[in-house]
Chain A
Amino acid sequence: MQKIVSLDGCSAGETGKIVALATGNYTILRKLLSMGLVPGVQIRVIRCRPSIVVQVGHSKVALEECLAAQITLVRIDG
């Protein structure tokens, strides 16, 4: 089953594929791009507090809820 969620609503251990970056702020967009957070990429949520930590490939990125809210994922089960 596929479900579209925003990254700040995910909990630790979940995996998903990025489908959209919903921000109009170019600086934020470029930062996300530089970390490899681009549509089509699969990420895994590692921690939700104090900020969200996701694993992209073999690297980890910490980001605050308000940034995570801009990232839309399709949740992948299992």
Chain B
Amino acid sequence: MLWQRGGISLKAVVLVGNPNVGKSVLFYQLTGNYATVSNYPGTTVEVAHGQASVEGRQVRVYDSPGIYSLLPLSEDEALTKRLLLEKSPSVVVHVVDAKNLPRMLPLTLELQACGFPVILVLNMMDEAKKLGVKIRREELSSRLGIAVVEAAFVHGWGVDVLRREIAKQLNGRLTARPFCRPATMPEQEQQVFIASALQRRRAAEKILEGIYSYGDLRRGAWLDRLTLHPVLGLLFSIAVVYAGFYLLVGRLGAGILVDLFEGVLFAEIIIPWLTVWVAYLPWPSVRELLAGDFGILTMGFRYAFGIIMPMVGTFFFAFAFLEDSGYLPRLAYWADGLLRKIGLNGRAIIPLTLGFGCGTMAVVATRTLESKRERIAATFLLALAIPCSAQLGLLLAMLSATPFLLLVWCLVVFSVFIIAGSLLNILLPGKRAAFFMELPPLRMPKPGAILQKTLARMRWYFMEVVPVFIFISILLWLLAGTGLLGSLVAALVPLVGMLGLPPEVSLIFLYGFFRRDYGAAGLFLLYRSESLSGEQMLVAAVALTLFLPCLAQLTMMVRERGVPVAAAIIFLVTMTAFAAAFLLRLALALPVW
């Protein structure tokens, strides 16, 4: 038995496999709902781990990011390898899509060759059977010399058998001591790797000879065909974006739910109640800090929970749905046509779409892009022309009252996006990476899994955001108390004046620097008090959209891209935002209108 400081160390079971083979579903079925999703030390890749009971024994299960081989191509893949090496697992469960066994079996062989105690799981047997795929499991098991389990985890099939096999493995063998290749290899070794990968592929084919048949390769669901149809597929992708982002996030999240949380819960119940209680406090400055104009409770918490939470929540829900349905790669496929023109590739649609939810998270997601050039371009565009859900929701609420304003705002922001992207494409050295992606089959997502993902991301978001909101409230309270706020605002007034906007707006721009959505929220309040004309609102909305990203996103930009690149981006973004807003103001003043 292994004893360590602090109690018994549990034996580790690591789930590995290609992306989209059902690892996460298996993970939740093994661990129940007691999973912890956390960033792996030193990385921002999420790894879920939790305890599971197999035949009365407790084990620790890790759900690793999807990999194609043990020689990593991306940061996610590198992490899986680290996990395998550092946790010295007693069992490695290799989950494969039974339909695509010939393609996935080489990884089993690679894991075995590295000395890991492997159990092979043929998942999605239900789909495979429907397509006529035939696999002789016992024969496969004896040819490989390891346990092979058939499963369809979405229906809960095969989990019990797998538990028994894990238990057998735990009782039988000692923990293996694996060895692996280093992460970076000189060119000659690359050749060796490719040669050995081809060899493994041949070996896999040989193993499968006579015991695996593909079945019907031409059958596909109608939805599968529709989403790739030259015309309907494109329309479908537009409809998905419209329904997911405009209807769900814009209308439901930013409209109905914000009205409920901010308009009713905070404005009518919590704030009046707090004001009564805070009034008992004897110190006026503390009263200000808690419940004043920039109070932690009246501004920080109200913005974080009343305005931001409903929008970010609905966004994360929509995003999790898209992710789990397997549609995102198809969206990338369609977006590639547009993004190619600005030097990005379809893959960039994932961080860019995520940017419509939360820019901070999106900057992290630019890691999925292959080249530094693309990561810089995407970070720049995220900072400039992608409004986050909070900002977008509020701007939509303000502008959609006058469809013309909304149209002009969309056109201006979109043009800036395209022009800035094209310029970057010309200016940045290097070439864009070619688009290459697997298109997984579409599936109906499980509501439980989506909720779990949404909640996990919201938790992450609040851990990051609420402290920033409190910090900003305190900072503004300090600035206001010392009178510095007044001078800062006054310094901005001439610039704001050049855009034809009233002086109050400069305070909003200052908010906007702290958090984008803070600024939008301020503008929203100004709009409600009807102190801006339509044109002024349009100019302010454009400036605020293009203006600096929020403090949290800025921090992440510095962390991901380094100070020089982040500083250059900030400088360019500020200049572009001001120039675009100024030109718009001039254009609106033309006598043609």
B residues within 8 A CB of A53? 228, 333, 439
A:37-78 near B, CB below 8 Å: 38-40, 44, 46-47, 49-51, 53, 55-64, 66-67
Kindly state whether residue B436 has any CB partner on chain A within 8 Å.
yes
Kindly state whether residue B193 has any CB partner on chain A within 8 Å.
yes
Please determine whether B336 and A33 come into contact, CB atoms closer than 8 angstroms.
no
| Residue among B69, B214, B230, B440 making CB contact with A34, cutoff 8 Å | B69
Give min CB distance, B61 to chain A, whole Å: 25
Residue of A at shortest CB range from B233?
A47
| Residue among B69, B73, B100, B197 making CB contact with A58, cutoff 8 Å | B100
A residues within 8 A CB of B68? 34-35
Residue of A at shortest CB range from B133?
A58
Give min CB distance, A37 to chain B, whole Å: 9
| Residue among B69, B103, B329 making CB contact with A56, cutoff 8 Å | B103
Give min CB distance, B217 to chain A, whole Å: 7
Please determine whether A63 and B436 come into contact, CB atoms closer than 8 angstroms.
yes
Please, how many angstroms separate the alpha-carbon atoms of A36 and B208 in the complex? Answer: 15
Please determine whether B439 and A60 come into contact, CB atoms closer than 8 angstroms.
yes
Kindly state whether residue A2 has any CB partner on chain B within 8 Å.
no
Please, how many angstroms separate the alpha-carbon atoms of A13 and B336 in the complex? Answer: 22
Residue of B at shortest CB range from A55?
B217
Kindly state whether residue B102 has any CB partner on chain A within 8 Å.
yes
| Residue among A36, A39, A47, A67 making CB contact with B436, cutoff 8 Å | A67
Please determine whether B194 and A36 come into contact, CB atoms closer than 8 angstroms.
no
Residue of B at shortest CB range from A38?
B201
Please determine whether A47 and B434 come into contact, CB atoms closer than 8 angstroms.
no
B residues within 8 A CB of A33? 69, 194, 197-198, 201
B:502-558 near A, CB below 8 Å: none
Kindly state whether residue B109 has any CB partner on chain A within 8 Å.
no
Please determine whether B217 and A59 come into contact, CB atoms closer than 8 angstroms.
no
Kindly state whether residue B460 has any CB partner on chain A within 8 Å.
no
Kindly state whether residue B140 has any CB partner on chain A within 8 Å.
no
Give min CB distance, A49 to chain B, whole Å: 6
A residues within 8 A CB of B73? 27, 30-31, 34
| Residue among B69, B128, B194 making CB contact with A26, cutoff 8 Å | B194
Kindly state whether residue B38 has any CB partner on chain A within 8 Å.
no
B residues within 8 A CB of A27? 73
B residues within 8 A CB of A62? 329, 333, 336, 346, 435-439
Residue of A at shortest CB range from B67?
A34
A residues within 8 A CB of B71? 30
B:203-230 near A, CB below 8 Å: 205, 214, 217, 228, 230
Please, how many angstroms separate the alpha-carbon atoms of A38 and B197 in the complex? Answer: 10
Kindly state whether residue B447 has any CB partner on chain A within 8 Å.
no
Residue of A at shortest CB range from B103?
A36
Residue of B at shortest CB range from A69?
B434
Please determine whether B194 and A30 come into contact, CB atoms closer than 8 angstroms.
yes
Please, how many angstroms separate the alpha-carbon atoms of A67 and B437 in the complex? Answer: 11
Kindly state whether residue A20 has any CB partner on chain B within 8 Å.
no
Kindly state whether residue A5 has any CB partner on chain B within 8 Å.
no
Give min CB distance, B99 to chain A, whole Å: 4
A residues within 8 A CB of B214? 57-58
Q: A30-B73, A63-B435, A64-B435 are in contact. Are A50 and B336 (CB under 8 A)?
A: yes
Please, how many angstroms separate the alpha-carbon atoms of A18 and B588 in the complex? Answer: 59
Kindly state whether residue A19 has any CB partner on chain B within 8 Å.
no
Please determine whether A49 and B197 come into contact, CB atoms closer than 8 angstroms.
no
Please determine whether B337 and A50 come into contact, CB atoms closer than 8 angstroms.
yes
B:183-211 near A, CB below 8 Å: 187, 190-191, 193-194, 197-198, 201, 205
Please determine whether A58 and B131 come into contact, CB atoms closer than 8 angstroms.
yes
29 contacts between A and B (CB under 8 A): A28-B436, A29-B194, A30-B69, A30-B190, A30-B197, A33-B197, A35-B438, A36-B201, A47-B228, A47-B230, A50-B334, A51-B336, A51-B435, A55-B217, A57-B99, A57-B214, A57-B217, A58-B131, A58-B133, A59-B100, A60-B438, A60-B441, A62-B336, A62-B435, A63-B437, A64-B345, A64-B435, A64-B436, A67-B435
A33-B197, A58-B97, A61-B438 are known contacts; what are 20 more A-B pairs with Cβ within 8 Å? A28-B436, A30-B71, A30-B190, A35-B438, A36-B103, A40-B205, A44-B217, A49-B230, A50-B334, A50-B336, A51-B346, A57-B217, A58-B131, A58-B217, A60-B439, A60-B441, A63-B435, A64-B345, A66-B434, A67-B436
Q: Which 6 A-B pairs have the closest CB atoms?
A: A34-B68, A36-B103, A58-B99, A50-B337, A60-B439, A26-B190
Interface residues of chain A, those whose CB is within 8 Å of chain B, are: 26-31, 33-36, 38-40, 44, 46-47, 49-51, 53, 55-64, 66-67
